[in-house]
Amino acid sequence: MATTTILSGATCTIAGGTLGAAVDVSDQLQSLVLTQAVDELEKTSLADSARYYVAGLQTNEVTLSLYNSFGAGEIEATLAAVIGKSDIVLVFTGTTSSTESASNPEYTLTNCFLASTTPINSQYGELSMVEVTFRGGTLARDIT
């Protein structure tokens, strides 16, 4: 049985919106979840004896859980620069290894959208966290 244990976290950069350059949020990243799906379109004809399907539009979603921080180039400022924008680019990997390979693919989600964020999410005695979900866009996987 194949298993993978991740002892170091994913990497992630955010670009687009009114950001001047890509911002690496890896040092504030608690978790990253990629959900990749396609619409199923039925193509069954009257001559078929079973149902058949083809892939339709992609439905991509990336959810980031981040430790909140304030200041230029930090999480709150980065998310404020991209909220409501549809030109966001996320680049991420599953491990901190800098080498792309079959065991460490790099994903790029281009032209995704951020609809909401919680810039202030504080509770006494706990670290401030923000969870954001980027939706839509085109997903590319690179192993070279």
pLDDT class of 129 with cuts at 50, 70, 90: very high
Q: Give the pLDDT of residue 17.
A: 87
Whether 54 has a pLDDT exceeding 90, the answer reads: yes
pLDDT at 117 over 70: yes
User: What pLDDT, on a 0 to 100 scale, did the predictor assign at position 95?
Assistant: 74
Distance, CA of 105 to chain centre: 14
Burial category of 62 from C-beta neighbours within 10 Å (exposed 0-12, middle 13-18, buried 19 and up): buried
Tokens found for residue 125: 């005695």
Strands 88-93 and 53-67, sheet pairing: unpaired
Locate 93 and state its tokens. Answer: 């990997």
Going by C-alpha positions, the residue among 96, 62, 79 that lies closest to residue 19 is 79
Determine the average pLDDT of the residues in 89-108: 83
Looking at 23-32, 41-50, 118-127, 131-140, which range is the least confident one? 118-127
Instruction: Assess whether pLDDT exceeds 80 at residue 90.
Output: yes
